[in-house]
Amino acid sequence: MKKILLILAVALFAMQQPIEGKKLPKKEMAIQLYSIRELIGDPQKFAQNHVAVFKQLKEMGYTAVEAANYDNGKFYGLTPEAYKAECEAAGLKPISSHSTRGLSDEEIKNHDFTAALQWWDQCIAAHKAAGCTYLITPWGPVPKNLKEAQVWCDYHNEIGKRCNAAGLKYGYHTHSHEFQKVEDKIWIEYMLDHVDAANMFWQMDVYWCVMAQQAPIQWFKKYPGRFALLHIKDKFEVGQSGMVGYDPIFSNASLAGMKNYVVELEGTDGTIDIMEGVRRSAEYLRSSQFVKASYTK
């Protein structure tokens, strides 16, 4: 009888364990820190909370981070070297960062990138010192016409060349507006056709691609090898809505040229806090058989 009671007690204990205690496969997986901006989104919040938050991210299974607060040579108020050290102390690789410098109407009109490229030189040097592999423009406007579109493409080519020289890879992150037409051309398509593949990759946000009524796989087929990073996103936590076909996306990672992916959450539905959403996203990906342990090997 005692043995039976002991077995029942152990079974009950196992059933009551939090889902975090599940033994899930280890996978290379990054998180866009914009997701948790409420906790570490500015220098003050970062200083107060990042140690505890980074510890939780590591425990959830994240292995890398993508920054979203570069400003004037610093990341979250820290020097690049200090930011890198804080990430690595938590067991997280500072793999990538979102940062950009737009162009004024005058710069576009005059095709003059002089001041902008000086800004990029400092930005690139800082990202190199921070240990980043990828530097990504997170957003850009839709050009008014194809003449302006070509100016933006020339600009991206120049940024990409500078990143290449520093040993970084330059990318552009899409939302949904890049699928709009400029004259008779789809803007993102024109961009990819007029920016050298060696100078810029496409960090597709799969959720916004679907929201634009586009099929990610079709773009992988049209521009194979151009997607070094993907943003894995859903309406809320990853896998929650059923709107995004993650299985075919990950199954075509080789076609896309994907080397890693970055989880991003815009928020939650209000029934859970953001860290729970981040945890559920990690659990979904770690438990999904179609997601490989690594895409760099």
Q: Is residue 22 part of a domain?
A: no
Residue 171 belongs to a domain: yes
Please report whether residue 296 resides in a domain: no
Domain membership flag for residue 82: yes
Which pLDDT belongs to residue 22?
Answer: 61
**Splitting the chain (297 residues) into consecutive groups of 10 residues, what average pLDDT does each group show?**
35 37 88 98 98 98 98 98 98 98 98 98 98 98 98 98 98 97 98 98 98 97 98 96 95 98 96 98 98 93
We report the CATH number of the domain holding residue 163 as 3.20.20.150
Do the domain assignments include residue 143?
A: yes
Q: pTM for this one?
A: 0.91
CB-based burial of residue 5 (10 Å sphere; 0-12 exposed, 13-18 middle, 19+ buried)?
Answer: exposed
- Whether 8 is covered by a domain: the verdict is no
Assess if residue 219 is contained within a domain: yes
Q: Which amino acid is at 178?
A: E
Q: Which domain holds residue 70?
A: 30-287
Q: Establish if 4 belongs to a structural domain.
A: no
Number of domains observed in the structure of the chain: 1
Alpha carbon distance 212, 89 (integer Å):
39
